[in-house]
Amino acid sequence: MFGKKAQPPIKSLIAQGTRIEGNMKFTEGLRVDGEVYGDIQAVFEEAGSLLVISEASVVQGAIQADHVIINGTVRGPVHARELLELQPKAKIEGDVSYVALEMHQGATISGQLKPLVAGGAAGEDEKPLLKLAAKSA
């Protein structure tokens, strides 16, 4: 389901040591290694969007993108229109909505989990995809 489409390239970087205050929008791919105090929103495109929040980063605001990978701290709601990957050091303080969720051991969420229906059609009996990642040796 999600392996068919190639991930968009990461074309923008907020480097470690950088602090941005204010809302931002991006297309294709964005990697955050620094701090963002404001909302981060991917502009809807047919090619999709990828947002990576790395281990040392802090985001205080709402996040919205197709594919979201988190290994840092997010204080605010997270909306993944396709796949949300929570790596071992992910810490989310806010509600999370997703179509598919992959959560590694050690990741934490302080908020509600709200599964979305793929394709946006409400009222279907389709269950959201949930994948638990096993601890690697």
Q: How many domains does the chain have?
A: 1
Q: What is the pLDDT of residues 55-72, one digit of tens each?
A: 999 999 999 999 999 999
What single DSSP character describes residue 8?
Answer: P
Per-residue confidence (pLDDT) for residue 5, from 0 to 100: 64
Is 1 inside a domain boundary?
no
Q: What is the pLDDT of residues 96-127, one digit of tens each?
A: 999 999 999 999 999 999 999 866 544 444 55
Is 130 inside a domain boundary?
no
pTM above 0.85?
Answer: no
Per-residue confidence (pLDDT) for residue 70, from 0 to 100: 98
pLDDT over threshold 80, residue 10: yes
Per-residue confidence (pLDDT) for residue 47, from 0 to 100: 80
Structural domain of 62: 10-121
Is 31 inside a domain boundary?
yes
- Read off the tokens for 35: 């701090």
Distance CA 101, CA 18 (A): 29
- Read off the tokens for 25: 């929008």
Is 102 inside a domain boundary?
yes
pLDDT over threshold 70, residue 129: no
